[in-house]
Amino acid sequence: MTQADSCFYNPEKRDYERGTPSDASAAMLAELQPSLLALSVNDFHAGSAVVIDDQEHAATDMHVALIGRQLQVRTPSGRMLDARIEKLDVIKDLAILKVPGLNESGARPARLDLNVVSREQEKAFAVGAPWAAAGRPVCVSEGSIQGVKSSADGMRSQTSPDWPFTLFDFSVDLHFGKDAERFVSQNKQALIGRAREWDSMPRIVSDAVATNGVSGGALATQYGVEGIVQMGSPKAGSRSAPIREFLDLAEKPSRFTFQYDVATRRLQSVQPVNPLDSTAAAEARLAEIILSRNQGVVDASASEEESGSR
């Protein structure tokens, strides 16, 4: 691996720089680079995704995938391919993309171990493409696991799609922008997980029953939805038609209450306003609404009636 095609995080400079990382980081980068895709949304670079199987699927962050409707990935060989969202998990902040032509591009799935058990102080690496515009290298950041907080029971719950991997929550000392969403343990087995800080996270609990966008609850709902659907938009305050439709649904009675993390721009919980509805149903319905609005395939009035009946 040459200095031209790699970069690493320099903790002294608190930034990424081109060059040769440590031997361990370089080995991890070489292992995973064929599985990493640069993700573009609406023609601007948004982040990265990782190939997860041989069925042309890749995993990325939900909040990144929902920035806009036109998704493309750049493969390690330089090919640009169209992608579409196939599954969402609103709480885990995960999206599965379908990328037709991915198998022929030379990209290969990352090795996923469903039974991996990581330990505190185990070395971990965040690998991705924060600079992934044309000619920019894939980067690696090295750190250690400070604590495994919880697992998601293999993501096989009523609230989640049937993910082909296990997701864990970690406290990880890694420097990869604000997140380390695609990181791996030192045994070179790819681990899809969420690394985040567990302390001092400001939250807004928004009351989705509020109407007309004038109360604090409705305003918080607006921030939450725009944070999910439009994070990274050049016009952060603008509201496209799909967002207006979703807000119309969210701000009516008998919908959901959101707990939204302002620091990470993520939903922390979704609760049904109707106590007879289950949390699982609320999360699943919210994912369905967001996905349908993003893809523009569900009539707003029909969705509204269906949501109100739950």
Q: Give the start-to-end residue ranges of the domains of the chain.
A: 3-195, 203-308
Quote the pLDDT of residue 256: 53
The 8-class DSSP code of residue 65 comes to H
How far is Cα 299 from Cα 310, in angstroms, rounded to an integer? 17
* pLDDT (mean) for 24-48: 78
Residue 90 predicted with pLDDT over 50 = yes
CA nearest to 116, candidates 170, 160, 55, 61: 170
* pLDDT (mean) for 71-75: 90
Task: Provide the pLDDT confidence category of residue 36 given band limits of 50, 70 and 90.
Answer: confident
Quote the pLDDT of residue 129: 61
The residue among 240 and 12 whose pLDDT is bigger is 12
Task: Provide the pLDDT confidence category of residue 103 given band limits of 50, 70 and 90.
Answer: very high
CATH of domain 3-195: 2.40.10.120
Quote the pLDDT of residue 4: 38
CA nearest to 263, candidates 197, 169, 217: 197
Quote the pLDDT of residue 110: 78
Q: Strand, coil or helix: what is 226?
A: helix
User: Buried (b) or exposed (e) across 162-188, using 16+ Cβ within 10 A?
Assistant: ebbbbbbbbebebbbeebbbbbbbbeb
57 burial via Cβ count (<10 Å: 0-12, 13-18, 19+): buried
* pLDDT (mean) for 138-161: 54
Quote the pLDDT of residue 81: 95
Which tokens sit at 272? 């049904």
